[in-house]
Structure formats: C-alpha cells, structure tokens
C-alpha cells in the first residue's frame, strides 16, 4: 500500500519533507521538499525515487551542510528512520 509520511526538519532551510513509499516493499515512490535549495533538493528527490528506504537512509545519514550539524539529506534520513521504526 502506498503511504505518505510528512516530516518537519530541524536546522535546515527546508520546512517540510514528504516521503511517498510502498509500505510492503519499502520502495520510495517520491520525495518532496518544501523550501531549501531547489536544485539540491530536487536532485536528492530524483535520486531517491525507486530506491529502498534502507538504502537511502544508509546513504544520507550523517551528511552535514557546511558548519551545520545536519542537512536536508540528513533530515530526510531522520524521516526515513521514523518510517522504518513503525
């Protein structure tokens, strides 16, 4: 079944991350960022499509943005961690 998960990121320019995924296969159908750097967030979203939640989490977890302790990719990893914990 296709599900949508909304996540409110912290410490980034993005204000919302929406993850659409198949809860039977854990494959990401779509990712949408609200605000943030348009080119980067669109690129991240395209790279995630068709990949498993686990693969994307393992790839993006811990990515930092300059001097910040987090980033839009890292916040997406946090959202995915919440999905996988369900």
Contact at 8 Å (CB) between 30 and 47? no
Name the pLDDT band for 67 (thresholds 50, 70, 90).
very high
Give the C-alpha separation, 73 to 65, whole Å: 9
Total number of domains constituting the chain:
1
Model confidence over 35-57: pLDDT tens digits?
999 999 999 999 999 999 999 99
Q: Please give the order of strands across the beta sheet that includes 27-35.
A: 2-7, 14-22, 27-35
Contact at 8 Å (CB) between 44 and 37? no
Rounded to 5°, the CA angle 82-44-49 comes to: 75
Structure tokens at 35: 């605000």
- Segment 15-26 mean pLDDT: 98
Q: What is the CATH number of the domain that holds 15?
A: 3.30.390
Output the pTM of the full model. Answer: 0.96
What pLDDT, on the 0 to 100 scale, is given for residue 86?
Answer: 87
Q: Which domain holds residue 59?
A: 2-85
């Amino acid at each position: 079944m296709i599900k949508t998960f909304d996540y409110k990121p912290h410490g980034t320019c993005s204000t919302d991350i929406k993850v659409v995924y198949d809860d039977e296969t854990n494959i990401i159908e779509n990712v949408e960022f609200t605000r943030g750097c348009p080119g980067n967030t669109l690129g991240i979203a395209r790279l995630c499509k068709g990949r498993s939640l686990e693969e994307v989490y393992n790839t993006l977890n811990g990515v930092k943005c300059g001097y910040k302790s987090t980033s839009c990719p890292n916040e997406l990893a946090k959202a995915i961690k919440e999905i996988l914990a369900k």
